[in-house]
Amino acid sequence: MNRSIINQNILKGFYLIFTLLTGVSVFGQTLGSKLEKRTLALGEVAVFQVTVSDLQGKGVVSAPKNELLPFHFEEVKDSITKQADLYERVIEFAVFEEGKFTIPALDFTIGGRLYHTVPYEVEVINTAQKGDQISDIMKNKEVKLGAQDYWELYKWYILSALIVLALIFIIYMIVRYVRRRKNSPVVMTNQTLRELDNLKKKKYIETGDYRSFYVELIDITRNFITKQYKIPADVLLTDDLIDVMKMNNTISPENEKIVEEVFLRGDLVKFAKTFPDQDTMQKDFSDMRGFVKRSSKDLEVEQLRTGV
């Protein structure tokens, strides 16, 4: 009795092995699979085939095209052929990594029932040897490019360069305008007039502080002459400045006389050789303010004379 049971189990085992090797046959349908090669070179194309025979018109459902094999198997071609009694799916694939990979048991639904193919193990090896020369599969093809082609290739670089140049030019013109505006005769005149008004607010004239008054009045005027007339009044002594003004001919004789009188009086006050009263201080302040306001006319005349 025990020997009979053992024999039956052995027969069942042989039947199971035979079924796995040759395919699955259920109710007349036979599911079979075949792998062309178990050892592949890196990137070599191999063929994996699944067939179902004796379909008797039943439907076969499996994974969509190009999605049947696992991740590492790069499917090159996936074709399905179906007839009344035969279903065939042929997949060409390649593997681009070295190692051992498994095609697992794949699901196929036949006539509403689920069946599986047998799994396969694939070994991928690198057949290239160190020092082997690598050649292109195809020779490089020369393509002649026209002007339109070069424009399409480099247009964004060209446009970017033009935009950068335009921005640099705009910034340059703005800086130049601001500098010119800052140093323009009108701006310099208004700035000096504000400095004179601030001097007046200190009430040096009313308090009789003639020394502080003349020191600041002459400093303001020297700075104004330096920037407005381009004469180095800020570094010249009074006598030298008067000589330069007379030789320069940029400042009108009327304005030269005012500057000369106020500067000479300021030097005398500085060394305590004269003590001007409030009327004299007020007159010198008004004369200097008038000189600053009239300076633009001096520059207009100079432009007409020199043509600059």
Query: Both tokens of residue 224?
Result: 């104004």
Query: Both tokens of residue 180?
Result: 């010119």
Residue type, 183: N
Q: How many whole angstroms separate alpha carbon 200 and alpha carbon 181? A: 27
**213: nearest Cα among 223, 205, 201:** 205
Q: Is the Cα torsion angle 183, 189, 195, 199 positive or negative in sign?
A: positive
Query: Both tokens of residue 121?
Result: 């193990």
Beta-carbon count within 10 A of 182 CB: 11
Beta-carbon count within 10 A of 250 CB: 21
Alpha helix positions (H), the chain: 2-22, 147-182, 185-201, 204-207, 210-229, 238-248, 253-270, 278-306
Cα–chain center distance at 289: 55
């042929």: which residue's tokens? 90
Query: Both tokens of residue 164?
Result: 């950068």
pLDDT one digit per residue (tens) for the chain, 308 residues: 445 555 555 555 554 454 444 444 444 678 889 999 899 998 899 999 999 988 888 889 999 988 999 988 999 999 999 888 899 999 999 999 999 999 999 999 988 899 999 999 999 998 876 555 655 555 666 777 778 888 888 888 888 998 998 888 888 777 666 565 555 678 888 899 999 999 999 999 999 898 999 999 999 999 999 988 888 988 999 899 989 988 887 888 888 899 999 999 999 988 888 899 999 999 999 999 999 988 877 665 555 455 44
**Half-sphere exposure (Cβ direction) of 5: Cα atoms closer than 13 Å:** 2
Distances (CA, A) of 56 to 43, 62, 157: 39, 18, 66
